[in-house]
Amino acid sequence: MGAVLAAHLLPFIGFSLVGGVVVDRLPRLLVMLASDLARMAIVAVIAALVLLERVEFWHLLALSATFGAVEAFFYPAYAAAVPELVPAGLRPSANSLHQLSRRFARLLGPALGAGGRRGRDRLRLRPRFGVLPRVGGPRRLALRMRARATDPALRGRPDSTVTGDPAPAVLVAPAAPIAPVAGGIDVARRSALADLREGLATVTGEPWIWIAIVAAGVTGITLAGPLEAGLPLLVSEHLGGGVAVLGLIQSMISVGAIGAAVALGSRARLRRRGPVLYGAWITFAICVAVAGLPVGIAGVALVSVVIGACGATVGLVWVNTLRDLVPAEQLGRVSSIDALGSTALEPVGLVVAGVAADAWGPATVFTVGGLSSAAILSLALLSPSVRRLD
């Protein structure tokens, strides 16, 4: 599993900066459509191989790598297209609507998948990976790919959490009142390399952007690693459950996310964004730690609801802030740099989490990862600029 996830992440990381430059120079909706069609074809190939029972491990590696490279163009295109299509006053509601549609799909998906698998006598337990059906690896990969394809707002953010998406980029705002980041390019006169340099200058020149990216990168090890690689193992070894329990946990995350999306979508303006974002993210991390304690299936399901709500809150606050403060002509590049920094250390996190789970067990990995993440995030609240962000 770790090799397949790494095969997806590494090309995504490698093509992120290229995708950002392309998005700011070409029609964004066209880039989104091309990326969607390409990824649809990749998932169709995986599904066909699974149905024909001809899938091999190298197929998954190659297709996952191709999927990651193509996906690197979709996220910045989506992030930059929304401000072009939706008035500023409606963006919180629009982002919440996107969150709702995605979460409803992910609420039904695990439940249907679990029910379908239980109806087939093709399930076995393996101590290394937890619960795996005879052809479950490709199907899990297809679900993960679909989830990432429909979750651009939370790339590298805790929505990524237990559902298989990465830990969140965090918002550290400047002490001065919120103001849009200055910038702009003349595509006709600037080279692609100059565009990239300008995007990097925008990120490094605004503390609330680059600190967010650094924070997301660090928690890519402490949170994303355990959640990406350790959840099936936690279910099978710590909870003694199977695929039905895994589906239950993922569905409960979606329930929490739907509730948070409805609550935030009803607000015309998000207030006290810094404290809200950090409070939600710290709570998210603490709940991950609790999942590693002996709380049973019911306890993990309960904290999963909170994890989903907090993950959705962090994602929505971050996305709205990024789109409010970064000029539309630079949003593609800034979003791609955000995605790059947020996911750059995830492959390391996957390896570390896998080794640690083998050595000390998945429960310990969850508890230590969650508590260390909460401690790291708490440091950000020492900044007056974060506390004053409204």
Give the residue with greater pLDDT, 74 vs 209: 74
Q: Which H or E run contains 195? A: helix 192-205
85: three-class secondary structure by DSSP: helix
> How many Å is the Cα radius of gyration of the chain?
20
- pLDDT score recorded for residue 373: 92
User: pTM of the prediction?
Assistant: 0.69
3-state secondary structure of 131: strand
Cα 270 to Cα 100, 307, 324, 387, distances in angstroms: 18, 20, 11, 14
Q: Which residues, 6+ apart, have CB-to-CB distance to 321 below 8 Å?
A: 171, 173, 270, 273
Give CA–CA dist 381/275, Å, rounded.
8
Q: What's the confidence (pLDDT) of residue 367?
A: 95
Which is more confidently placed, 280 or 81?
A: 280
Flag whether pLDDT at 128 surpasses 50: no
Q: Which two tokens stand for residue 264?
A: 């935030």
Poorest-pLDDT segment among 76-80, 123-127, 386-390: 123-127
Residue with tokens 């899938």: 55
Q: What average pLDDT does the segment 377-388 reach?
A: 80
How many whole angstroms separate alpha carbon 161 and alpha carbon 374? 14
CA angle 272, 150, 158 (to 5 degrees): 40
Among 98-112, 279-293, 311-325, the range with the most confident prediction by mean pLDDT is 279-293
Domain-wise residue ranges, the chain: 88-388
Which residue is associated with the tokens 């928690």? 219
User: What per-residue confidence (pLDDT) applies to 297?
Assistant: 94
Residue 136 vs residue 238, higher pLDDT: 238
Mean pLDDT value across residues 132-152: 38
pLDDT band at 151 (very low <50, low <70, confident <90, very high): very low
Per-residue pLDDT at 142 exceeds 60: no
Query: What is the reported pLDDT for 116?
Result: 58
Q: In this predicted structure, what is the pLDDT of residue 117?
A: 55
Q: What is the DSSP string of 38-54?
A: HHHHHHHHHHHHHHTT-
- Nearest Cα to Cα of residue 145 among 220, 47, 245: 47
Compute CA 339 distance to the chain's CA centroid, rounded to the nearest angstrom.
Answer: 9
Q: Is the pLDDT of residue 171 over 80?
A: no
pLDDT of residue 331: 80
Average the pLDDT over 204-232 and give the result. 82
pLDDT single digits (tens) 50-71: 899 898 988 989 999 999 999 9
288-330 confidence digits (pLDDT tens): 999 999 999 999 999 999 999 998 898 888 888 888 878 878 8
Confidence of residue 337 (pLDDT cuts 50, 70, 90): confident
Residue identified by tokens 């029609």 is 27
- pLDDT, position 2: 63
Phi, psi of 131 (to 5 degrees): -95, 120
Position 192 scores a pLDDT of 74
Phi, psi (deg, nearest 5) at residue 148 = -70, -35
What is the CATH number that goes with domain 88-388?
Answer: 1.20.1250
Residue 133 pLDDT more than 80? Answer: no
Query: What integer pLDDT is reported at residue 383 of this predicted model?
Result: 77
- Decide if 340 contacts 16 (C-beta within 8 A): yes
How many residues appear in the chain? 390
Residue 36, pLDDT score: 92
Angle between helices 57-85 and 296-325 (to 10 degrees): 50
Distance, in Å, from the CA atom of 229 to the CA atom of 226, rounded to the nearest integer, reads 6
Given a cut of 60, whether residue 18 has pLDDT beyond it is yes
